[in-house]
């Protein structure tokens, strides 16, 4: 039974890519670290077509790699080596089906970019809060499948908190129609949560009903220079005590990190990017942030500060944070880590990392930045000046950083997911009981193991 001709008949002349040249951009991950061939790249337009593709693949034992914007930092949306795989791209499933202001929700297909959801919400006077550097490329389905976070998790929660319902194609080709806008539906297992963060290993998300929020009417944004991570934590706690949930953004960057994103308007060893939002224009968030910073400058918690006076200045300050990943990539890349620790251990984590690298990997350069308000740091290790990334002992560095985070009561993966690159961390740090439960779920949902093979769950031999 010819697979590719049947697939082409199903999706039409322009719905399948088969040549190596056409497949290449979809086979390589964003960081350029994983590149394995697929049989083809398929572009369905409807959930029904996704269902038909699944049935075709099951009949011929061909694995499916679901792919959104291909912005994963752990190679979660590209093929592995050694098994026949079809890349199923959601690029053509890019319709916003409805926007309900009474229910404050939007139904978007899996291939809709996050930026498009943000824009649609803004046009309707609402806010969709999931935002990160890749939101112009990252898609709804991928963001849900990885339970993406971003810069406003502190106030609004991660992607899981935004999902009201899902439409999912299951491993037998059936479609679970779980789209609804009900904040309360206490009728047994809440099935949508099984697919959120599962990285496409249990089902293929084709559409989602997402929660919208009231749009802020006034925003105050400041970049603050501090002398240490401890001072940054003290400042964060001061702002949080005064602003409460109105503190919608708190990003931490070392001087080395911010330099990769651009030229800061002030000099300091470390920085906080703060934002206070208000639903009413007369709530005066700028006055609040000025009061906090005045005290911090007086007692030395802050060394210097800049408050954005216009939308353009705000965009300039935000770009310093958002441009760090691209700047790092252009500077030669890094051994990347996405860890979280309790807020009380943030300063300990930074200090211990600095000591660890100085002692065991002298000359390596640290790029530390992340979401201070929710305990999530991106700890990236760059090679010494004049050396290549390939010269570093990546497994040893990663094992040390991840083990350090876990020893402080944290996690080795906070928001990037597992994909292909964090399987060793799963084997080392996830309990045998948790892994056994995950494998049982995988077998129950995908008995032939055709959905996104080689991702999320390490082989049993790795853990035994």
Burial class of residue 15 in the structure, from the number of CB atoms within 10 Å of its CB (0-12 exposed, 13-18 middle, 19+ buried): buried
pLDDT tens, residue by residue, 127-164: 999 998 888 999 999 999 999 998 999 999 999 999 99
Mean pLDDT, range 242-252, rounded to an integer = 93
pLDDT tens, residue by residue, 401-443: 999 999 999 999 999 999 999 999 999 999 999 999 999 999 9
Sheet with 376-382: strands ordered across: 304-307, 218-226, 270-278, 247-254, 365-371, 376-382, 338-340
pLDDT tens, residue by residue, 164-222: 999 999 999 999 999 988 889 999 999 999 999 999 999 999 999 999 999 999 999 99
pLDDT of residue 107: 98
Mean pLDDT, range 114-139, rounded to an integer = 94
Question: pTM for the complete prediction?
Answer: 0.93
- Report the CATH fold assignment for 218-324: Alpha-Beta Plaits (3.30.70)
pLDDT tens, residue by residue, 299-345: 999 999 999 999 999 999 999 999 999 999 999 999 999 999 999 99
- The residues with which 108 forms a beta bridge, in sequence order, are 96, 208
Name the token pair of 144: 């849900």
Mean pLDDT, range 17-22, rounded to an integer = 96
459: left (phi over 0), alpha (psi -120 to 50) or beta: beta
Q: Across the chain, how many H-helices and E-strands are there?
A: 18, 18
pLDDT category at 461 given cuts 50, 70, 90 is low
Name the token pair of 302: 């802050």
Pinpoint the alpha helices (H) of 3-128.
Answer: 3-11, 20-27, 47-59, 114-123
- Class of the 96-214 domain? alpha beta
- The residues with which 254 forms a beta bridge, in sequence order, are 270
Burial class of residue 389 in the structure, from the number of CB atoms within 10 Å of its CB (0-12 exposed, 13-18 middle, 19+ buried): middle
List the domain boundaries for the chain. Answer: 3-89, 96-214, 218-324, 332-407, 423-463
Packing angle, helices 3-11 and 47-59, rounded to 10 = 170
Burial class of residue 241 in the structure, from the number of CB atoms within 10 Å of its CB (0-12 exposed, 13-18 middle, 19+ buried): exposed
Q: What is the DSSP letter of 14?
A: T
CA dist 434 and 456 (Å) reads: 12
Question: Where does 332-407 sit in CATH, by number?
Answer: 3.30.70.2740
Question: Where does 3-89 sit in CATH, by number?
Answer: 3.30.43.10
CA dist 209 and 204 (Å) reads: 15
Sequence-distant (6+) residues with CB within 8 A of 188 are: none
Asked, colleague to colleague, whether 218-324 and 332-407 share their fold, the answer is: yes
Report whether pLDDT(13) > 90. Answer: no
Mean pLDDT, range 358-386, rounded to an integer = 95
């Amino acid at each position: 039974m010819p697979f590719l001709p049947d697939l082409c008949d199903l999706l039409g002349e322009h719905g399948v890519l088969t040549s190596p040249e056409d497949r290449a951009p979809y086979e390589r991950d964003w960081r350029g670290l994983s590149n394995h061939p697929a049989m083809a790249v398929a572009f369905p337009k409807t959930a029904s077509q996704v269902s038909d593709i699944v049935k075709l693949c099951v009949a011929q034992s061909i694995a499916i790699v679901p792919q959104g914007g291909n912005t994963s930092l752990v190679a979660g949306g590209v093929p592995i080596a050694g098994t026949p795989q079809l890349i199923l791209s959601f690029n053509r499933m890019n319709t916003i089906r409805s926007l309900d202001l009474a229910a404050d929700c939007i139904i978007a297909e899996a291939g809709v970019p996050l930026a498009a959801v943000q824009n649609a919400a803004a046009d309707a006077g609402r806010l969709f809060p999931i935002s990160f550097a890749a939101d112009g490329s990252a898609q709804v389905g991928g963001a849900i499948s990885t339970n993406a976070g971003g810069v406003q998790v502190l106030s609004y929660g991660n992607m899981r908190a935004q999902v009201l319902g899902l439409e999912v194609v299951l491993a037998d080709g059936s479609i679970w129609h779980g789209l609804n806008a009900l904040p309360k539906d206490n009728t047994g297992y809440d099935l949508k949560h099984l697919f959120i963060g599962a990285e496409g290993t249990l089902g293929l998300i084709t559409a989602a009903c997402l929660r919208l929020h009231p749009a802020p009417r006034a925003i105050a944004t400041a970049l603050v220079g501090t002398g240490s991570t401890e001072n940054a934590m003290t400042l964060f706690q001061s702002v949080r005590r005064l602003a409460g949930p109105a503190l919608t953004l708190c990003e931490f960057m070392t001087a080395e990190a911010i330099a990769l994103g651009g030229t800061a308007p002030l000099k300091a060893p470390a920085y906080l990017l703060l934002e206070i939002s208000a639903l009413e224009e007369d709530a005066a968030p700028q006055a609040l942030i000025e009061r906090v910073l005045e005290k911090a400058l007086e007692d030395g918690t802050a060394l210097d500060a800049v408050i954005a006076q216009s939308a353009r200045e705000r965009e300039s300050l935000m770009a310093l944070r958002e441009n760090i990943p691209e700047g790092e990539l252009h500077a030669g890349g890094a051994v990347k880590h996405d860890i979280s620790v309790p807020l009380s251990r943030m300063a300990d984590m930074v200090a211990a990392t600095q000591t660890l690298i100085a002692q065991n990997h002298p000359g390596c350069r640290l790029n530390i930045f992340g979401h201070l308000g929710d305990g999530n740091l991106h700890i990236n290790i760059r090679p010494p000046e004049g050396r290549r990334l390939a010269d570093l002992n990546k497994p040893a560095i990663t094992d040390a950083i991840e083990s350090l985070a876990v020893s402080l009561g944290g996690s080795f993966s906070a928001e990037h997911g597992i994909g292909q690159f964090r399987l060793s961390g799963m084997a080392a740090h996830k309990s045998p009981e948790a892994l056994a439960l995950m494998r049982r779920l995988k077998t129950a949902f995908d008995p032939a193991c055709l959905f996104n093979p080689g991702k999320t769950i390490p082989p049993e031999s790795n853990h035994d």
